[in-house]
Amino acid sequence: MVLYMIKDGILAKGERKEKNWKGTKFKEPYKEAVERFRKEVMGRPDLDPATLFIWGVYMSKGLLQIMEDVEENFGPEGQKVVNEALRKVGYDAAKQMFEDAEFPDDTTDIEKASFVTTAVNTILWTSIEKPEILSHEEAIFDILWCPHQDVYKPFDCRVQRFLVEGVLKYLREKMDVGFDLEFRWIIPAGADTCRFRIWKKKEGEEENQWEKYSEILAQRALKRWRSKKGEK
């Protein structure tokens, strides 16, 4: 698996095979904090990068616990508050990254959608990604390694869905990216990779499948909450 990830996957500074990737420009979020880290911390000989990973897991587990406890104690209204907060964070991060994004003039719509996804996956999620454009209307990507894969149960991954919804909202509003997104399988459920599909929505295809499934998971969480309270 390690050799497979090294050979086939890319991280934030990785190269894609499409020629237009080289001319694509976007920014990192949280610029001031990132610059301070690079200047004052990253080069220290006593820095163990693994502690940054531990910190990230610590924060993500805290967020998951907040979501579960708010659902259990405040039900649907509490769930709405948490989910919307996550959407706001995703929207803001996407704005910082893509507000002034540049693409070569001949970049196709599916390339733009796939390139943006690579930026999100490798920067915001620090994941190892293997992207592939299948046609002018469809692309896929595999996540070969995700920081959450060894600590999240399958249902826990829904936390990320609402962050993604915020990212998608910005891209659809500001960049006219008329694509939808769905997952096929995930590592926490036993798969070798997390597989996602991106496709250009057809005329009349108004409902967003990503948000639709997010709502299904939200209702499933509330069902668990009601079960704990002895309600039907």
Residue 5 binned pLDDT confidence (cut-offs 50, 70, 90): low
Check residue 75 and give left, alpha or beta (phi > 0: left; psi -120 to 50: alpha).
Answer: left
pLDDT of residue 232: 58
**In CATH, what class is 18-228?**
alpha beta
Domain locations in the chain as residue ranges: 18-228
pLDDT of residue 4: 59
pLDDT of residue 156: 95
Alpha carbons 57 and 165: distance in angstroms, whole number: 21
What residue has token string 């454009």? 133
Judged against a pLDDT cut of 90, whether residue 226 lies above it is answered with no
Q: Model confidence over 135-194: pLDDT tens digits?
A: 999 999 999 999 999 999 999 999 999 999 999 999 999 887 689 999 999 999 999 999
Mean pLDDT, rounded, for 97-119? 96
C-alpha to C-alpha distances, 2 to 7, 24, 29, 145, 164, nearest whole angstrom = 9, 28, 29, 10, 27
- 91 residue type, one letter: Y
Mean pLDDT, rounded, for 193-214? 90
Q: Which residues of 39-65 are buried (b: 16+ CB within 10 A; e: fewer)?
A: eeeeeeeeeeeeeeeeeeeeebeebbe
pLDDT of residue 205: 77
Q: What share of the chain is helix, strand, coil (3-state, %, to 5)?
A: 55, 15, 30
What residue has token string 């509330």? 222
187 close to 129: Cβ distance less than 8 angstroms: no
Alpha helices, H only, the chain: 2-8, 31-36, 49-98, 109-119, 158-174, 209-228
132 close to 141: Cβ distance less than 8 angstroms: yes
